[in-house]
Amino acid sequence: MGPTADEGLLRALYREHGGPLLGYVLRLTGGDRPQAEDVVQETLLRAWRHPEALAGRPARPWLFTVARNLVVDAHRARRARPPETGIDEQVVMTAAGSDDIDRALESWTVAEALAELSPQHRAVLVHTYYRGLSVAEAAKALGVPPGTVKSRTYYALRALRLALEERGLAP
């Protein structure tokens, strides 16, 4: 008996997205490979159970969002576990608030998206947004005309938005 269409979908998702998804989840879990593999497996299982969620849209942003939510949920579940379970909360994870974890996850995602931009786009965003330089100051620091800074900023923000949408983080 050959594989069903559902199994084919699952295999295709794993083949196309498994590696990047595992890398992403490894970063979210602080390098905990067994946990990351469990999260990837659960993410793909949810995609298999709900193929309608992927219909008519790119799969990767949905997969990355589900994986991120699973990591956050697992962290919150560990923090909510009563002391009589014998789990030492200090060993499992330092006591960071949920907002801190969410901000850290978003920061990693934005850093990944920035890394995908061209060096010129990344540089203009770093100068204008992260360093707070004016267009004129950024133009001087980058050695380009102010109009080029404006143009690069516009296209860099568009590229960054697309990269964030792929990761399920765009508004």
Class for the domain spanning 1-95: mainly alpha
3-state secondary structure of 140: helix
* CA 147 – CA 138 distance, rounded (Å): 11
Using the 8-state DSSP alphabet, how is residue 137 labeled?
H
CA–CA distance, 95 with 89 (Å, rounded to integer) = 8
pLDDT, residue 120, reads 93
Residue burial 159-169, b: 16+ Cβ < 10 Å; e: rest? bbeebbebbbb
Average pLDDT across each block of 10 residues of the chain; the chain has 171 residues. List them in order.
Answer: 60 84 85 88 85 77 86 77 48 47 71 85 88 90 93 90 76 53
Q: How many angstroms separate the CA atoms of 144 and 88, rounded?
A: 55
The confidence score (pLDDT) of residue 14 equals 84
**Positions of CATH 1.10.10.10 in the chain:** 96-171
Q: What is the DSSP string of 65-131?
A: HHHHHHHHHHHHHHHHS-GGG---HHHH-----HHHHHHHHHHHHHHHHHHHS-HHHHHHHIIIIIS
pLDDT for res 136: 92
Its pTM stands at: 0.47
Q: What is the pLDDT of residue 125?
A: 87
User: What is the CATH number assigned to the segment(s) 96-171?
Assistant: 1.10.10.10
pLDDT at 75: 77
Q: Which residues of the chain are in CATH 1.10.1740 domains? A: 1-95
